[in-house]
Amino acid sequence: MPKMNPDSLMKDFTPYEAKEGEEYMNENQLEHFRSILLGWKQELMEEVDRTVHHLKEEAVNYADPNDRASQEEEFSLELRARDRERKLVKKISQTLELIDNDDYGYCEECGIEIGIRRLEARPTASMCIDCKTLAEIKERQVGG
């Protein structure tokens, strides 16, 4: 599941229904996000297995240089996608550690609640929307 594809991850997704007066990041909410993250991680790992299988099955030594170049480009794109996903798996694992340590759901910059809906949209979010927006503005100013 590259970079949080809601269509893939969220096909069986049920939004969390908070109860009146419910404490933020209680056990039910943490379990909800743990389940989302574990499912996402599982899908990514299955995609890695499919890629390995595809590379083994489709690896043909074409005589025509154009065919060989096309295959190499296809494999290169696939491997780059898997590399991004490998980094995402690492981030998911780090996020699961935050859940295990009861540190999940709070902005790493200002400490406020990130929010259930934002986390459902991006379960690995580590900043509230305000801090993330500010960080992106700063990044554009420095990089632009």
Quickly list DSSP for 56-106: HHH----SSHHHHHHHHHHHHHHHHHHHHHHHHHHHHHHHHHHHHTT-TTB
C-alpha count within 13 angstroms, C-beta hemisphere, residue 138: 6
Check if the beta carbon of residue 129 is closer than 8 Å to that of residue 107.
no
Is 107 annotated in a binding site? The answer is: yes
On whether the CB atoms of residues 44 and 85 are closer than 8 A, the answer is yes
> Does residue 131 have a known ligand-binding role?
yes
Asked whether residue 52 is marked as a ligand-binding residue, the answer is no
Write out the binding residues for Zn(2+).
107, 110, 128, 131
Write out the binding residues.
107, 110, 128, 131
